[in-house]
Structure 1
Amino acid sequence: MRHIILLMVLLGFVHMASAQVITIKDQTTEEPLELVTLISKSTHAYATTNGKGQADISALKDAEKIEIRTLGYKTEVKSYAQLEAENFLLFMEPSNISMDEVVISATRWNQSSSDVPSKITSISSEEIKLQNPQTAADLLGISGEVFIQKSQQGGGSPMIRGFATNRLVYTIDGVRMNTAIFRGGNLQNVISLDPFATEHAEVLFGPGSVIYGSDAIGGVMSFQTLTPQFSLDDKPYITGKAVMRYASANNEKTAHLDVNVGWKKWAFATSISSYDYDNLKQGSEGPDEFLRPYYVKRQDSMDVVVANEDPKIQRPSGYSQMNLMQKVRFKPNKNWDFQYGLHYSETSDYARYDRRQRTRNGKPRYGEWNYGPQKWMMNNLNVTHFKENSVYDQLSVRLAIQNFEESRISRNFNKPDRETRIEKVDAYSANVDFTKALGERHELYYGVEAITNDVNSTGTDLNIETGVSQPGPSRYPEATWSSYAAYVSDQFTINDQVLLQGGLRYNFIELDAEFDTQFYPFPFEKASLNNGNLTGSLGVVYRPTRDWVISSNASTAFRAPNVDDVGKVFDSEPGAVVVPNPDLEAEYAYNVDLGIAKVFDDVVKIDVTGYYTHLKNALVRRDFKLNGQDSIMYDGQLSQVQAIQNAAEAHVYGVQAGVEVKLPSGFGFSSDFNYQYGEEELDDGSTSRSRHAAPWFGVSRLTYAAQGLNMQLYMNYSGKREFEDLPESEKGKTEIYAIDDNGNPYAPGWYTLNYKASYRLSDMFTVTGGLENITDRRYRPYSSGISGPGRNFILSLRADF
């Protein structure tokens, strides 16, 4: 470590080129614009504006073509000489209509979305500020193109193009968050991220295995957290924000503070957030089955059923959370950029609300069913080198250590035995990514990756009456999961109208597990898997005119079995238990999509994307035998033995459509609509709807922006899913669905009408408020175990300094 510090100090004495600073402002309000990206493809350099709308563009000197972009504004193309002639002051024109924007999720490098054959959606910091999402899952839902399922208030499981959980990839500052225990059931890991510390977020739709490896079948969600900003003169650059927020539906009390302190070569960013949520209140108008007429309470050493004074309050569902982030950035000269980040997140215990609704013999099944504190810590170092040589123009090295801890705590109704299962994962990753221009038409992206996950799982059984504790069965075996990969992607510009992009990745994955057989009579004690996987993609972007973009992409993706697939033991539903299966192979996806976007007179934009994905060798839960037996005693009940198996095929197809209209006097209208249809093969060869293919859903917005005021009236909506169209695995979950006239569960359609507004009181203070679910609908998103909030008043005060 001393050698590294000495090297950084020595590099600090390297002479830094005199800075040339540009200032970029809003043409209407003359307010500075943050996160505007300036890119020169010819010099392979870029810069991004800070909170004062300023950026050092020395690296762009002599560039003949600089593309200047930010979400919500018209793209500008200028030469360095033109910017110099304008005294390095640029005013950008607001516009809801944009054919391209700067994205990083497709290749890990800054590039224009118009150069990417895949569909990518961005969520800007301004949209996050207006919408005030309570969690990172809600942040993704802002897009109107990601469906969010929740089993409890402390959760949020994205569904993208008919896939979810371990068939999607999360990245934070370019680091993969997926671990070896990501499961096929719903996940709440995304809530570990802090919306206040998120600079922007992107969703890449469709397979992304060439760049991201295993699990990137349905899409990739990329989060970029706050980047420390340097001073561009001799004075320290100090900025930050403080936020206080209240929401009525769950009595939310949230506080946040972040501070940036920067000099010319060193910069520091600190962020801290505290969230506190009470039990969530649902709406007044809707299915009675969603009401909560009772809850279980422990009184006088007994579990008793207590009448809920207000059945609209979903009790228990409250929890709290804290997030911390510290970043350090060092840039000794224009060629090197060092960034270190520390992230920490921890929740309180919180109830799994859907399990709390289950009954057995007319009584509540559980006296307790909680998730213990969900903890996540990440240390990551990102080193970027900008230097044209024979190997690369830009080099990025990402090293990360992540520590995850989660637990499950359950106890049957009026039974003394409390079962606690704790899982810990230590994840180590190293990525080395390169970009190299081969002449004027070829841009090459390539790199290598190494990942290792160490899984530690323990079980404890406690008798709450006697206080006697003893070891219990663990959820997972002791295991190590590792992935090693190399990839290459080539972007070839045929002419001004046609661009091709293709890539290949080879991934080798190995898994070693040791099973504890003292609790269950497994016929094996060890399991080893080795999977080699080759994936590829080929896409084309065709721009016949400035106002047209037609793109198509064909790609493959894979998901290698992880520790959850191979070694999990848990009750999947009443009367069924999932047991380990060491004989698994990777599943593969084959995808094709076609997108068309058209802008009419800089006033209307329409874009439509159709896609089809075929999943082979799918890992699904099927009936199984353990030591020749199809049933075993589990949790005091004779249960059908099941296991994850390569036993099915599935396919999903759908359409994503959007329209944007720029109306007079600062008004605008936009709408996003998503339809997907998925089927999977069942045990008997018949087919069933895919569980993670949500009903059609979308959002429509009427917006207004002028002179510090930003308003939005919008409607979120989702279609109905009849009993006959429910996946077979969902038809037995009567506790989370409404009941139709025939006594069968179904998912009702729903909508919410919402209003948000933000007003800049002064250069320092901004007030944001809103009224969600104005009509107080009682609704429950498809496959969710908890209802959405009823009429919800939100008030937030923000101070920028």
Structure 2
Amino acid sequence: MFLQRMLAVALVAGCAATVSGQEVFREYVTLAQPAANDSAPGNALPPVEVRPPATDDTGSGSDADALPPVEVRPPADTSGSGSNSPATGNNFPASGGDSPLDLNNGNAAAVAAAAMRADLARAYPSLSQSQLGQAGRFNENTGILRDGQSLFDTPAAVSIRTRQEIEERQAPDMFHALQNEVGVLLQSTAAGQASPFIRGLTGQQVLILVDGIRLNNSVTRRGPNQYFNTIDPGMVDHIEVLRGQGSVLWGSDAIGGVINIVSRGPDLPGSFPGDPNYSGAQAIQYFNTANNSPYSRMNVEGWVNNTGVFAGGSYLNVGDLDTGYDNFPRQPGTSYQQFAGDIKFNYMIDRDQMLTLSMQHFEQEDLARSDRYPGYPGDRNNSNSFAAATFFDPQQRDLTYLRYQALDPLPFIDAVTVTASYNRQKETVTRGVPTTRAQTTDVDTVGVSAVASKEMYNLGKLTSGVDWYYDDVDSPFWGASGPIIPDDAYYSRIGAFVNWNVPLTERLSGVAGARYEAISAAGTPIVNIAGVDTPVFAQAEFSDWVGSAGLVYELTPEVHLVGSIAEGFRAPNLSDLMSNNPNVQQQGQSIPSLGLQPEHSITYEVGVKTDTGRLRTQTFVYWIDLQDNIVSQTTPTPFTFSSANQDSYIQGVEFNGELLLERGWSLYGNFWYTYGQNQVTNAPLSRIPPMQGIMGFRYRSPRQGRYFDIYTWMSDRQDRLDPVSDVRDERIPIGGTPGFATLNLRGGQSFGAHQQHKLSLSLENLTDQPYLVQGSGVYGTGFTARMGYTWTR
């Protein structure tokens, strides 16, 4: 990144003052772009004299690796990544020493050392390098913390799953894309579905965003649901995870945390700086032996003058899953198909203003409810009839948004982002083979948000914004049952926030924020009154203030002590208030609960972050006080679920870290433990994940186009069960979910001109260990080979 910045300064200094369309683009691509791109064509750089600063770019303050002036002539790109520029500072001590570099005198050892350092910086970005938000200059307000900070400089517990990691996993869906992230459990309630648990909470209590736009809507169900998996991982640039807070910045639902999916775009320059026109393409093919599933994805991208485009489409065809159980090789009801397509346009109005238009479509067909499929092992009703089979067909998501971003639009604003969005989520639930009942829930959501920031020098940085979302529900049905959500229902939310990052002393910095949010809901649910089902018009209004505060103390330039207190807020949505859903657990049905109050939470957490040349870690201890937590209550005959407010708490510990070894090798892992308790019933909270973690040993070399990874995933037994939801759920074995450990490895190698071709292989669960993730309706895979081929132009 440092080389690129110095090159940009040299180029801009020689530019003409006139700014044509091409000149606007040239300035953008030379100043705006990050160091590495995994898809664009190579962009070899001309020679330039670089004088590195006394300290590195990581923010660690270390000057041990400062380099003397040197003329560097980057070689032709052979990585296939599209860039020769290393990422910003990485203090890894390369073998061969830190001798002064003089390519003209042929110091081969020093050249090799510099190449290795650049390679390691790209392979293992430090916490200081890991920026939140989209790549380039327009990243101020687009990240999950809305202020452009790095992971190291914030008191929050944040992690990033990069595109490099997603591609190494050969992820055909979001379940595999985020699996094994610290503090996050991915539960597959049924095939093709994925519900992320953050600190023991999921569903409505975890907010999911796509490019900063809410995926959660007013019909998102409490507890595990499928919506996280309605995103194609092939369109994902990276995934940002904020654990334990988020209500101040993002509003209702962010009690457990926030997940922001940042999509790919035409964000990088072409074959060399100054050329505004380029084109690129990528073809991806994966095959998974566990369910005989081919995943195919094609991407194209390019720039013409000041307009860029990225577009892609994918297809996934999944067969029944091969489990690790000897007497149960293939799990019925786990086959389905999915289609996806997306396109994004970036238009540079001038060097400081950009318009983005993005459209996404995702659709799944024939998704069976694994807990309602005939013959499903462990089915306590042991039904031999197809009358009980339940399918989602289709499960559909569409998102379109227009975004305007500007730098220095007014003297009192440094950056502004304004977004208008339309989101549609449609699901049709059918019962029986042939179908005896069909219920559709079709939700149209329109939204507008605006965020602005201002750097106030010694007074810190102020970020503020407003957001508004409106849901309109359409619920046609046929058969014996009525709509799940009233057909005339609507849900509206509006909020405003302010967030202030401020230096307090030379070593101490703080962040404080506040939000006000108001929500209104209305509809006509069917309520049982004196044994008679009666339509009743209901209307509800909710509003609240929430606040947060955090501190970062610099123990040393490479070790930060952090802590925060954050309030959370979640108003009951339409699913809580008005749902008549006959698809709850095995034979249960939810009924309206019109008297619910909003949930509130206070999260207390303390942590330590280390960011040295060799070691990067984050350790947190936390406590979540859940006031008026919305939980399920049941009646035995008939088996119905209603909701009630009951105080609860969750506490736990999280650790993740990576130790860089020699020549591209590292040792990494994470560990997390969660404990949840209902203070009213004195019983465990439902579906609290068991203690678990991973430990691995890997090698990465982007320059050589090579990686290797061997790791084990370990999960303890979970026998602390909620007697209302968990004990009745046949997806949880009687007595609790057994512990397990799997052994896995993956590797890949690029070859050909500019590393255009890449072969990859993952071997999962090498010991064929039978296992089940807590609460999942789908068993873990037995021994699996996942093979991949990627072609990049």
| 1:289-340 CA-partner distances (Å, limit 9, x unpaired) | xx5xxxxxxxxxxxxxxxxxxx210012101101100111100211211000
Which residue, 700, 725, 739 being the options, matches 2:695? 700
| 1:381-418 CA-partner distances (Å, limit 9, x unpaired) | 1100111634311110011001110121123x9xx871
CA 83–156 in structure 1, closer or farther in 2 if over 3 Å, else same = farther
Which residue, 115, 121, 126 being the options, matches 1:98? 126
CA 78–582 in structure 1, closer or farther in 2 if over 3 Å, else same = farther
- Check whether the contact 2:585–2:729 (CA below 8 A) recurs between aligned residues: no
Match of 2:219?
A: 181
- How far apart in 1 are the matches of 2:249 and 2:43? 32
CA drift at 1:642: 4.0
CA 153–65 in structure 1, closer or farther in 2 if over 3 Å, else same = farther
- How far apart in 1 are the matches of 2:470 and 2:711? 44
CA 699–798 in structure 1, closer or farther in 2 if over 3 Å, else same = same
Which residue, 23, 37, 53 being the options, matches 1:34? 37
Which residue, 713, 723, 732 being the options, matches 1:728? 723
**TM (normalized to structure 2)?**
0.83
- SS for the counterpart of 2:491 is strand
Matches within 5 A, 1:15-94: 16=24, 19=27, 33-34=36-37, 52=42, 90-92=85-87, 93=117, 94=120
CA drift at 1:775: 0.4
Which residue, 595, 611, 628 being the options, matches 2:622? 611
- Check whether the contact 1:359–1:365 (CA below 8 A) recurs between aligned residues: no
Q: What is the percentage of aligned positions where both structures have the same residue?
A: 21
Which residue, 330, 334, 359 being the options, matches 2:351? 334
CA drift at 1:671: 0.9
CA 151–258 in structure 1, closer or farther in 2 if over 3 Å, else same = same
Matches within 5 A, 1:204-283: 204-229=242-267, 231=270, 232-234=273-275, 236-283=277-324
Aligned residues: 706
Which residue, 456, 479, 494 being the options, matches 1:484? 494
- How far apart in 1 are the matches of 2:63 and 2:546? 37
Which residue, 549, 564, 567 being the options, matches 1:538? 549
Residue type matched to 1:155 in 2?
A: Q
CA drift at 1:185: 2.7
CA drift at 1:583: 1.8
- How far apart in 2 are the matches of 1:360 and 1:712? 41
- How far apart in 1 are the matches of 2:441 and 2:602? 33
CA 87–542 in structure 1, closer or farther in 2 if over 3 Å, else same = farther
CA 517–215 in structure 1, closer or farther in 2 if over 3 Å, else same = closer
- SS for the counterpart of 1:445 is strand
- SS for the counterpart of 1:103 is coil
CA drift at 1:759: 0.4
- How far apart in 1 are the matches of 2:467 and 2:428? 29
Residue type matched to 1:348 in 2?
A: E
CA 67–383 in structure 1, closer or farther in 2 if over 3 Å, else same = farther
- SS for the counterpart of 1:283 is strand
CA drift at 1:585: 1.7
**Unmatched segments (≥5 aa) in structure 1:** 1-10, 27-31, 36-48, 57-61, 286-290, 292-310, 462-470, 624-629, 632-637, 739-743
CA drift at 1:645: 2.2
- Check whether the contact 2:687–2:722 (CA below 8 A) recurs between aligned residues: no
**TM (normalized to structure 1)?**
0.82
Higher alpha-carbon deviation: 244-253 or 137-146? 137-146
Higher alpha-carbon deviation: 494-503 or 526-535? 494-503
CA drift at 1:603: 2.7
Which residue, 365, 379, 383 being the options, matches 1:363? 383
Residue type matched to 1:130 in 2?
A: E
Residue type matched to 1:147 in 2?
A: L
Which residue, 356, 361, 371 being the options, matches 1:354? 371
Residue type matched to 1:396 in 2?
A: T
Residue type matched to 1:544 in 2?
A: L
- How far apart in 1 are the matches of 2:739 and 2:460? 48
CA drift at 1:128: 1.0
Which residue, 162, 179, 189 being the options, matches 2:200? 162
CA 546–17 in structure 1, closer or farther in 2 if over 3 Å, else same = same
Which residue, 463, 477, 483 being the options, matches 1:445? 463
CA drift at 1:67: 8.4
2:436 is the counterpart of 1:418: yes
CA drift at 1:543: 1.2
CA 450–550 in structure 1, closer or farther in 2 if over 3 Å, else same = same
CA drift at 1:134: 2.2
Match of 2:750?
A: 760
Which residue, 448, 463, 476 being the options, matches 1:430? 448
- Check whether the contact 1:25–1:91 (CA below 8 A) recurs between aligned residues: no
Match of 2:333?
A: 316
- Check whether the contact 1:171–1:220 (CA below 8 A) recurs between aligned residues: yes
- How far apart in 1 are the matches of 2:277 and 2:25? 18
- SS for the counterpart of 2:284 is strand
CA 509–52 in structure 1, closer or farther in 2 if over 3 Å, else same = farther
2:412 is the counterpart of 1:391: yes
Residue type matched to 2:615 in 1?
A: V
Residue type matched to 1:193 in 2?
A: I
- How far apart in 2 are the matches of 1:711 and 1:365? 47
2:716 is the counterpart of 1:719: yes
Matches within 5 A, 1:135-146: 135-146=173-184
Residue type matched to 1:223 in 2?
A: I
CA drift at 1:734: 6.2
- Check whether the contact 2:220–2:575 (CA below 8 A) recurs between aligned residues: yes
CA drift at 1:661: 1.6
- Check whether the contact 1:355–1:366 (CA below 8 A) recurs between aligned residues: no
Which residue, 657, 668, 671 being the options, matches 1:670? 668
| 1:340-373 CA-partner distances (Å, limit 9, x unpaired) | 0000000111111122237576534753211121
- Check whether the contact 1:33–1:53 (CA below 8 A) recurs between aligned residues: no
CA drift at 1:789: 0.9
- Check whether the contact 2:61–2:557 (CA below 8 A) recurs between aligned residues: no
CA drift at 1:78: 13
| 1:421-475 CA-partner distances (Å, limit 9, x unpaired) | 11000011111000111134410110111110111222211xxxxxxxxx74111
- How far apart in 1 are the matches of 2:258 and 2:723? 27
Residue type matched to 1:479 in 2?
A: A
Match of 2:398?
A: 377
- SS for the counterpart of 2:485 is coil
- How far apart in 1 are the matches of 2:349 and 2:555? 44
- Check whether the contact 1:131–1:142 (CA below 8 A) recurs between aligned residues: no
- How far apart in 1 are the matches of 2:777 and 2:226? 13
- Check whether the contact 2:201–2:256 (CA below 8 A) recurs between aligned residues: yes
Which residue, 774, 779, 797 being the options, matches 2:789? 797
Residue type matched to 1:491 in 2?
A: N
- SS for the counterpart of 2:265 is coil
- How far apart in 1 are the matches of 2:435 and 2:672? 46
Residue type matched to 1:482 in 2?
A: S
- How far apart in 2 are the matches of 1:15 and 1:63? 28
**Hey, which of these two has a bigger chunk of strand by percent?**
1
- How far apart in 2 are the matches of 1:343 and 1:406? 17
| 1:190-222 CA-partner distances (Å, limit 9, x unpaired) | 111111111111101111001110000111101
CA 597–181 in structure 1, closer or farther in 2 if over 3 Å, else same = same
Residue type matched to 1:16 in 2?
A: V
- Check whether the contact 1:152–1:352 (CA below 8 A) recurs between aligned residues: yes
- Check whether the contact 2:152–2:611 (CA below 8 A) recurs between aligned residues: no
CA 525–84 in structure 1, closer or farther in 2 if over 3 Å, else same = farther
